[in-house]
Each structure stands twice: as structure tokens, then as C-alpha cells.
Structure 1
Amino acid sequence: MTSMLKDLSDAGVSVWLDTLSRGRIKSGSLSELIRSRRVVGVTTNPTIFRDAISHGMEYEVQMSELAVRGVSAEEAVRTVTATDVRDAADLLRPAFLVSPAGQDGRVSIEVDPHMAHDTTATIAEARHLTWLVDRPNTYIKIPATEAGLPAITETIAQGISVNVTLIFSLARYRQVAEAYVAGLEKARAGGLDLSQISSVASFFVSRMDTEVDRRLDVLGTSEAGALRGRAAVANARLAYEAFEEAFSGERWNRLHRAGANKQRPLWASTGVKDKAYAATKYVSGLIAPDTVNTMPEATLLAVEAQEHAAGRDLRSTYDEARADIEAIERLGISYAEVVRQLEDEGVAKFQESWDSLLTATESRLEACTRRLHTWP
């Protein structure tokens, strides 16, 4: 085991993999990452599944069976993705069983992002996906939109564990934490066992630098250049400060005494977009207990290749993080405008990826149907 991966685990950072495919499951690749690289969770999104279904021959038999039944592309997507998530959850079940309160060993599956602005549909989809996957170590991914917030509360109240995704702003993060706590209070009032309910809040990291750096480059000053690559880590560090505030005090302590689990921050989008930055930038800069870092495989391998974790515990960096955000705003770059843009773009990108996933699935179904019709 390499030192940096061990350093992360020792610091209370759970290492998750931000990709999934049937080929990875069948080949033993996922099992190997679990065994040798401390991977204790998996996240997915429509783009990941689109790429897997488009190119993976491992889906051929199931696609042929779905084609024979004449199912829609939407039903096929739910069936195929639920199968992969279920199989990955089974591989991660040992990690789930030994994790405190079963917070690791989890696999996430996303509601249709076209429901991002429909509270009722999101709740119904979360219930359906929970039934379809039928594994206790599953997270249902719900986007942190305004309509998503009450859906998070109600889904948690029904005892369904949730991965809240597409969080960019500190204000939205605080609303997400509130939605989770409110859901736990409703669950407790309904007589549910709070220890069986879990959640993570996926705070997106690298996209913040991408947008802020673009605006800094437009300014083109030396002062602007000195702030490149500082916004994303600063934003995430301040989110952790908000996490500490949200999960303390008497209101939280009452729930904790009843068995409730903290909603851990999950650092998402941790692959660097700018090659000028170290491949481990969004890992080594965000080390703190009770966090998850979900990494693309390339980032995981870069972490593995590094001898020790270069960063310090982020709890000592709050003042520095605030100073970075304030310096960026003094240059005329509005934090509120950036995070609002990133949320809107994030939902739109996931919707586009979902549509692309449906198109890829439809193509596979049509190809299977044509082959079936040409059989002697």
C-alpha cells in the first residue's frame, strides 16, 4: 500500500472511485482497486454509464433480452444501470459491513436529471431506484437544486440514503445540510432507526477553478494571475467549515444521541482540468476527517504514485481560504454569479449526458433488434 493512500485513510478521508462499468466489474478491476488501493465506494453519473454502454460488449446479452421485450430506452437505462450498481454494491458489501454506521461501501445511482426541478418526480424516482437496486449500501443521487431540497428532506424522512450532488456554493451547501437534518427529524418522528440512514453532500471542486481562472485570465493582470487555481480549494475548505457548524450544537446532538450519522462532505470533480496543476491538487488540498474524495481512475493512480500526502489538515486553512475568495471578489469576479452559473451549467450538462445515454441505449437496442430479425 502506497503511503499517500494510507495517509488519506488515516486522516479520515474515504477513497471512492468516480467510474463504473460492467467490464470493470466482470474483469475483476473493481475488486482489485478495492483490495489493493483502499477504494471503499463508487460514484456514477450519466456520462459514465453512456460511455460504458456505448462501448462495452458485456451489455450485449442483457440488451438483446431487453430488445426482445420491446422496452423503451428509459426502462432499459434503469434496468442496465441498476444491474451494474447492484453488482458493484455486492462487491463493496464487506466494506459496508465494517464501516462505522455503514457509511462506506456505498454505490451511487442518479435520478433522471430532467427531474431536477420537479420535487414530486424526484421523490418518486428515488423510491423506484431504491426498490429496483434493492441493496442497503446504495445512495440515491439527488441534485441540490431548489426543487431538490424538499425532495432530499422527504427522501431522508422515508429512510432512503442520499448522495446530494451538484453543490457549488456555500449557501446551497448550508441549505443541503438543513434539508438533511430536517429529514432526519421527520424520520425520527416517524419511528425510523436513524442509524440506518446515511448521506453525503457532493461539493464539486475543479469546475470552480475552471470558471474563475477563465475570468482571471480575461483580466490578465499579475494580481489576477497570482490567484489562478485558488478558488476551488478555498471554496471547498469553507464548505468544510460550514459542515462543522451544521453538525454541532444541541439540535444536532439530539439527533446524534438517537443514532443519526453526519452527512459527510464528498469532494467531487477532483480530476484536474488544467494540466499546469498537480494531478493530486484536489486531493492533497482537501484532507480532513469525515470526508470522502471520489476520484477518476487517473487521479487515483496519481495519488497512488505519490509517496506522502502533501497537504495539511484543511481545518487550519479557513482564514486563508476566506482571504482568497475575498481577493478574487475585489477584482470584480462575483462569487454569487460564478456559483449560480456553475449550478445551472451542471444541471444542463447532466441532462445532456442523460439524453446522450438514452440515445446510446436506443442505438444498442435497435442493433440487437436487427440482429434478432436476421437470425435463421
Structure 2
Amino acid sequence: MTDTARATTALDTLSAAGVAVWLDDLSRERLRTGNLADLARTHRVVGVTTNPTIFASALSKGNAYDEQLAELAAAGVETEAAVLDITVDDVREAADVLRPVYDESGTVDGRVSLEVDPRLAKDADATLAQARELWSRIDRPNAFIKIPATEDGLAAIEGAIADGISVNVTLIFSLERYRKVMEAYLSGLEKALAAGRDLAPIGSVASFFVSRVDAAIDPKLDELGTPEAKELRGKAAIANARLAYAAYEEIFSGERWAGLAASGAQPQRPLWASTGVKDKAYPDTMYVDELVVTGVVNTMPEATLLAVADHGQIRGDSVSGTEQESAAVIEALRGVGIEIDDVTEALEAEAIRKFEASWTELLETVSDGLARAAGNGSTEEAGQ
């Protein structure tokens, strides 16, 4: 079936509703086989996000990285430098695949994200230094540097934007932190403008995590076991995200933003992250179907992407006008003894720990690969 003859899917409807469809995955195999280009052509994929977990998984499977590992081992490259070489190469290649999307969208989409070392999350200066290094090494205008939205990360986010570096702000769970992220973005743009930078190419998304909120709150509701608690299962994450969109609308319709927009700035789009359903009792497309509104990004693991294409229920805007209803959900949670701010604070700490663990796993995987490559090289030379 030709591209023009393919059946319309829910992804087409989602895209038409103004939601940018991004893939939450990247691997060299996906690049080499042309899979990413195929998804861009057939599944409306217009961006890619990565994280240490994704790269650790990619490197542990198959042999797509063997040639580069052999080259790095022969050159005596240390493990941490090798990790940066490998991940930068993948992101640069993916950015080239999506460059036509970037150009056609007026620099809005076609973006590919690479995260700073999560071990730097509490060091703003070191985070900003690595953001500058990664931005320079990738050397593609459609890259995003991912910086965690920790308290210390906020200064690095502002500094990176001021430098003209496009940023994907990640690991946002709470509304309070999200407001600080938007403040950091606006302040960074103001500094960039004062320095004479062209604001138009500077892009940013704010990655607001969704499913992990329900995964943390639902067990608390189950433990309570009351009818009121049971009624709230599966509602917290969507309500939290919808309130985040209301905050976005408030900030990006104000006078401060209007002045920056007049100077060519792009809004910092909300990005729904962690959209794979963790509880099989829920529809597997729930965190896509229920968060449809123009001007946002939804980054999906491949399983969710394919599920939406197959049976997503996109019924138009499912966010606008829900602020009061969403606030009532948060208040009802408080009524049964669950403070969402406590939950989101714990989720941020947990997420940093998990990404640090994934980074360690990535380092170990690359270290093992370098050792194998060096051993194979020695064996081959001995046999010559």
C-alpha cells in the first residue's frame, strides 16, 4: 500500500487535533533499518526523546554498536567519553533523519533530545557546562538538550536558553515546579534577547510526567479501600496534567510572553511524558486519548504509539475547560488524606535515582563492550 493510500489512523486524527506525536525511543538499529524514517512517514512521528534507560537498553541488544565500540577501544577511549560519543552520534543521525520535519514545521518539530548526565542534577554549573558541550558536539539546530527540572536544574535551564541552546526540560511532576520551569524559560529568553540573540530558533518543551502519578497514588487509594478512594483510581495523573495545561495557558497568554513572542520567541510547549499505561486495568491509550489539546507534544513508547494507531479513541480536545473538574479531583484526593505535592516530590527523587541507576548501567554496558572489543582485537592480532 502506498503512503497516499494508507488507511487513516487515530494518529492522523491526533496530529490534526494539534498534538505533535513523538517517539520515546531511539537506537542505532532503528536508525540503520530506516525504522525511524518509516515511522515519520507512516505514523506521524515528528520528534524523538531519549534517556539513559533507552540507551542502556539499545546497547544491550544486538550488535549495532560493535563496530563503533571496536574503534573506540582501539583508540583507547575511556568509558564515559565513549558513552558521549555513542549517544551523540545516534542523536545527530536521528536529527538528520528528522531535519525535513524541522524545516517544514518552521523549526518547531523534528527535534531529538539528549539528556545531560543525571548525576549532575544537583549541580547547576556542571549541568550547564555539559549542556553546552552536548549542544556543540551534536551541532544540529533541531537537537534538544534534556535538563532535569530539579531546583538546581532551573538555573541551568535558564542559562542554556540564554545561550541559545534549545532545551527539553524533563522530570516535571508538580504544578509548582512547572511554574518555575516556565519562569526559567522566560527569563532565559529575556537574557538571550538582551544579548542580541535571534529568539526564533530557540525551542523548548516542558516534559510533564503522567502515568507515574497514578502508579504512585493508586496503591494508596487501594490501601484506603473506601468507596471515595476507589472512585479516584486512575484520575490523579490526568487531572494533574490538565491543570498543568491551564497553567501553561495562563503564562503564555500574559503580557510578559506577548513581548517575547513579538520578538520571535516560540512558546515552551507542554510535553506529555510517561504516557505508557502502567496498570493493565486501564485502556492502553488512556494517557493519549485524555490529553488531546492543540499545541502540546505527546511522546510515546513504541507500544503505545502502535496501540494508538490501532485503536486510539481521539475525540477532539479533551483538556480545554477541564480546570475546575481537575482541581476537584486533587481536592478529593486531599479529602482522603493524599497530598499530591508529597507524591510528586517523592516521584522526582525516585526518578533521579532511577536515571542515575540507568546511567550507571549504561556505563557498565559500554565498559563491557569496550573490553570485549579490545579482547577480540588482541585475539585477532595474535592469530595473524
TM-score (norm 1): 0.98
SS of the aligned residue for 2:278 comes to coil
**Cα distance between partner residues in 2 of 1:199 and 1:103:** 9
Matched, 1:3 2:9: yes
**Cα distance between partner residues in 2 of 1:152 and 1:248:** 21
Deviations 1:45-76 (A, max 9, x none): 00110011111311111000000111111111
Aligned to 1:22: 28
Aligned to 2:163: 158
Aligned to 1:325: 330
Aligned to 1:243: 248
Aligned to 2:237: 232
**Cα distance between partner residues in 2 of 1:282 and 1:311:** 14
**Cα distance between partner residues in 2 of 1:69 and 1:368:** 11
User: Map of 1:246-285 to 2, 5 A cutoff?
Assistant: 246-285=251-290
Displacement of 1:198 in angstroms is 0.5
SS of the aligned residue for 2:122 comes to coil
1:134 alignment partner, one of 130, 139, 150:
139
User: Map of 1:343-354 to 2, 5 A cutoff?
Assistant: 343-354=348-359
Displacement of 1:311 in angstroms is 5.8
**Cα distance between partner residues in 1 of 2:318 and 2:50:** 27
Deviations 1:88-123 (A, max 9, x none): 1110001000113x1100000000000000000001
User: Map of 1:353-364 to 2, 5 A cutoff?
Assistant: 353-364=358-369
Deviations 1:286-340 (A, max 9, x none): 0111100000000001100126414643012111111111101110011111010
1:50 alignment partner, one of 47, 56, 60:
56
SS of the aligned residue for 1:302 comes to helix
Aligned to 1:109: 114
Measured at CA, do residues 339 and 19 of structure 1 come closer, stay the same or move farther in structure 2, by a change above 3 Å? same
Report if aligned partners of 1:139, 1:162 keep a CA contact under 8 Å in 2: yes
SS of the aligned residue for 1:374 comes to helix
Report if aligned partners of 2:23, 2:299 keep a CA contact under 8 Å in 1: yes
Measured at CA, do residues 311 and 221 of structure 1 come closer, stay the same or move farther in structure 2, by a change above 3 Å? farther
User: Map of 1:335-346 to 2, 5 A cutoff?
Assistant: 335-346=340-351
Aligned to 2:42: 36
Aligned to 1:89: 95
**Cα distance between partner residues in 2 of 1:56 and 1:325:** 45
Report if aligned partners of 1:54, 1:364 keep a CA contact under 8 Å in 2: no
Report if aligned partners of 1:202, 1:266 keep a CA contact under 8 Å in 2: yes
For the aligned residue pairs, the C-alpha RMSD in angstroms reads 0.9
Report if aligned partners of 2:161, 2:185 keep a CA contact under 8 Å in 1: yes
**Cα distance between partner residues in 1 of 2:335 and 2:142:** 45
User: Map of 1:172-211 to 2, 5 A cutoff?
Assistant: 172-211=177-216
Report if aligned partners of 2:55, 2:362 keep a CA contact under 8 Å in 1: yes
Calculate percent identity across the aligned residue pairs. 57
**Cα distance between partner residues in 2 of 1:14 and 1:49:** 23
Moved over 6 A (4+): none
TM-score (norm 2): 0.96
Aligned to 2:3: none
**Cα distance between partner residues in 1 of 2:18 and 2:364:** 40
Which amino acid in structure 2 is aligned with residue 119 of structure 1?
Answer: A
Aligned to 2:4: none
Aligned to 1:98: 104
Aligned to 1:168: 173
**Cα distance between partner residues in 1 of 2:57 and 2:108:** 28
Report if aligned partners of 2:289, 2:318 keep a CA contact under 8 Å in 1: no
Matched, 1:293 2:298: yes
Deviations 1:131-170 (A, max 9, x none): 1111110000000001100100010000000000000000
1:78 alignment partner, one of 65, 84, 95:
84
Question: Structure 2 unaligned runs (5+)?
Answer: 1-6
SS of the aligned residue for 2:60 comes to helix
Count residues with an aligned counterpart: 375
Deviations 1:212-262 (A, max 9, x none): 101111111121111100000000000000000111121111100000100
Report if aligned partners of 2:289, 2:313 keep a CA contact under 8 Å in 1: no
